[in-house]
Amino acid sequence: MSNAPKALLEGGPDDLSERIVPVTPPGTEIKVPHRGGYEHFRVTGRHQDTPEGRLPVYEWWERTEIAE
């Protein structure tokens, strides 16, 4: 089991494969590659109990496309 900090992702596309993800460094934006772009999540200040413990909640706020 990893000791890396993790976060719970809220919002964004319904088909994201993971909702609990590592966050490095904690407290910054999380950018998740998804379907030819990136889903961006920001820290909310809230926490939620999960199967992996109490985690900070990051909420979706925008999508950017990967330039080809």
Residue 67 maps to a domain: no
Residue 68 maps to a domain: no
Total domains in the fold of the chain: 1
Report pTM.
0.86
Tokens representing residue 30 in the block: 């999380």
Domain containing residue 35:
6-57
Residue 33 maps to a domain: yes
Residue 1 maps to a domain: no
The predicted-structure confidence for 12-67, as pLDDT tens digits, reads as follows 999 998 999 998 776 679 999 999 999 999 999 999 999 999 999 999 999 999 87
Question: How many Cβ atoms sit within 10 Å of the Cβ of residue 17?
Answer: 8
With CA atoms as reference, report the closest residue to 32 among 18, 44, 46, 53.
18
Residue 49 maps to a domain: yes
Residue 15 maps to a domain: yes
Residue 38 maps to a domain: yes
